[in-house]
Structure 1
Amino acid sequence: MTDFDLPSPGLGTSANDDFEECAETVRAALELGYRHVDTAQMYDNETAVGEGIRRADVPREDVVVATKVHPDNLAYDDATRTARESLDRLGLDAVDLLYVHWPTSAYDPEETLRAIGDLREEGLCDHVGLSNFPPELLDEARAVLDSPVAAHQVECHPLFPQEELRRYAVEHGHSLVGYSPLGRGEALDDPLLTEIAEKHDASTAAVCLAWAFAQKALVPIPKATGDHVRANYEARELELDEEDLARIAAYDVRERVIDPDGAAWNR
């Protein structure tokens, strides 16, 4: 259980690896009102994200910065070394949230989680996160960690609503951070979501995000550039009614879009 308040929405930065575009996107998002920026070693953009944070006319202490340790770097020595390298690239003394990105490759519960816990003890991260963990590995990690889990990040959107992991997050007092909240665009042409969007004279993307905002403990982190950064932030103004939410809950279309063969749920 943690009292960490994770701002919603966050800005996802996956695949935004053009330095100037990424830095300017982060700057613009923070000056628009975002207070949560998510990156990762895997994204190869931590330097640009850090530059965007410095460019923004927003105090550093007002921004939650999250990064993730690459699955290949999860042995104890690699995790502690590369986390420091991430801080160097970001230009920060510490991140607010440090995730284990995937429980695959070099992941070893005892070694990896000891490394993340030690980094927190040293003050290099304020909170510990996990990403792409199925429930049984969440249980294992929580038993091993001395630090509370502040956030668990997974794919989550109306077509893949992660009911079990949302309940788990509420029960254990952490945020469920939803990446690909638009289903990598797959949700934008869905008939039901399109119908709900037309009802509200809104975009389907706004419906997906409004659905996320309506769920307990769920924090979406849409990735975006240009005008989409503002559109995603302004989706907070759309409120779905009980009928909309019930129709989405009862919908029989369920589609995971991020599904690597090596993911823990495919073992």
Structure 2
Amino acid sequence: MEAITTQGVAIPRLGFGTFRMPGADAQPAVESALALGYRHIDTAAMYENEAAVGAALAASGVARDKLFVTTKVWHDQLVPDALHRAFDASLRKLGLDHVDLYMIHWPARDLDMAATLEALIALRERGLTRAIGVCNFNLPMLRRAVEEIRAPLASVQLEYHPFLSQASTLAYLRGKGIPLTAYAPLAQGRAASDPTLAVLGRKHSCSAAQMAIAWLLDQPGVAVIPKAARPESQRANLDALAVRLNHQDHAAIAALPKDQRFVRPPFAPDWDAAA
């Protein structure tokens, strides 16, 4: 599996997402994914499945140093003391002595960014997480985190799929050597039924969903974490690694609407904020 090296860690470019796999539902799915060859597992406190993910990791027999495990702290736990307690709870549920990447899941409206990022950095310095990152920060927030606070971000996780442009953010992150991890890469299932992606997929003997994943993987500095509960879907996502796009494919996907954002919780930041 190709990996992106960043801040001293190697992030496998195709990972396994576990959103909307609550409780014990996650364990068999993660066990299957690990058996198929996934090594990058993405979870979060909010998913309420860290214990099940940890059980799957333990049952897999895969050596810890071959795994890349990400978890995240929820936006109501970003005050440093609360963040440290949340981290300890996540680590305990996962049954690990460290995680590979610990991330802010969403920024809070009253976020003290410097204090929160310093709390993350302290976890990294103690060896409890190998790297730190943020999710769902808009571009002005990223500029502040990187340029003013100088946080050593190893990844930024954002909604990214063929129907949503992240061009300006991606250009900024590439300039700073920070990978973008694409969540909801199938646009919450919409990519699988898109006519343009289906036509391209038939040309490459693959599905529309595989085309969407392959398009993301074809972009430098992008990792992808699709969710798939069924082993056959997990395998199909892995098979997308072999799909090679050409200029015509990219042109066709570029012509799709790029303003469709599907993850819009009420606490999301202003995505249109000027950089």
Please tell me the TM-score bracket, short chain as reference: over 0.9
- 1:199 equivalent in structure 2: 203
| Partner SS state of residue 99, structure 1 | strand
Mapping of 1:33-72 within 5 angstroms? 33-72=37-76
Q: After superposition, what is the alpha-carbon deviation per residue over 1:177-227, rounded to whole angstroms, capped at 9, x for unaligned? A: 000000001222222112211222211110011101101111110011112
Q: After superposition, what is the alpha-carbon deviation per residue over 1:147-206, rounded to whole angstroms, capped at 9, x for unaligned? A: 411000000111113111221221111110000000001222222112211222211110
- 1:135 equivalent in structure 2: 139
- 1:209 equivalent in structure 2: 213
Closer, same or farther: CA 253–217 of 1 in aligned 2, 3 Å: closer
Instruction: Write the distance in 1 (CA, Å) between the matches of 2:235 and 2:213.
Output: 13
Confirm whether residue 159 of structure 1 aligns to residue 159 of structure 2: no
**Contact residue 210 and residue 236 of structure 1 kept, 8 A:** yes
**Matched AA of 1:245:** H
- 1:103 equivalent in structure 2: 107
Instruction: Write the distance in 2 (CA, Å) between the matches of 1:252 and 1:118.
Output: 41
**Number of matched pairs:** 266
Instruction: Write the distance in 2 (CA, Å) between the matches of 1:166 and 1:31.
Output: 32
Range with greater deviation from structure 2 (99-108 or 232-241): 99-108
| Greater percentage in helix | 1
**Contact residue 130 and residue 152 of structure 1 kept, 8 A:** yes
| Partner SS state of residue 254, structure 1 | coil
Closer, same or farther: CA 85–174 of 1 in aligned 2, 3 Å: same
**Contact residue 16 and residue 43 of structure 1 kept, 8 A:** yes
- 1:257 equivalent in structure 2: 262
Among residues 106, 112, 119, which one is paired with 1:115 in the alignment? 119
| Partner SS state of residue 125, structure 1 | coil
**Contact residue 113 and residue 144 of structure 1 kept, 8 A:** no
Instruction: Write the distance in 2 (CA, Å) between the matches of 1:106 and 1:95.
Output: 27
Task: Give the drift of 1:144.
Answer: 5.0
Q: After superposition, what is the alpha-carbon deviation per residue over 1:92-144, rounded to whole angstroms, capped at 9, x for unaligned? A: 11100000111125532022111111111111111011100111100111245
Confirm whether residue 4 of structure 1 aligns to residue 9 of structure 2: yes
Among residues 79, 95, 98, which one is paired with 1:91 in the alignment? 95
- What TM-score do you get using the length of structure 2 for normalisation? 0.92
Confirm whether residue 76 of structure 1 aligns to residue 80 of structure 2: yes
**Contact residue 102 and residue 132 of structure 2 kept, 8 A:** yes
Task: Give the drift of 1:252.
Answer: 3.5
* Structure 1 gap segments, 5+ residues each: none
* Structure 2 gap segments, 5+ residues each: 1-5
Instruction: Write the distance in 1 (CA, Å) between the matches of 2:54 and 2:241.
Output: 26
**Contact residue 41 and residue 68 of structure 2 kept, 8 A:** yes
Give % identity. Answer: 38
Confirm whether residue 235 of structure 1 aligns to residue 246 of structure 2: no
| Partner SS state of residue 178, structure 1 | strand
**Matched AA of 1:236:** L
Task: Give the drift of 1:33.
Answer: 1.2
Task: Give the drift of 1:261.
Answer: 2.8
**Contact residue 101 and residue 129 of structure 2 kept, 8 A:** yes
Q: Which runs of 4+ in 1 moved over 6 A?
A: none
- What TM-score do you get using the length of structure 1 for normalisation? 0.94
- 1:16 equivalent in structure 2: 21
Closer, same or farther: CA 15–120 of 1 in aligned 2, 3 Å: same
**Contact residue 162 and residue 258 of structure 2 kept, 8 A:** no
Instruction: Write the distance in 2 (CA, Å) between the matches of 1:128 and 1:30.
Output: 23
Instruction: Write the distance in 2 (CA, Å) between the matches of 1:153 and 1:162.
Output: 11
Closer, same or farther: CA 119–253 of 1 in aligned 2, 3 Å: closer
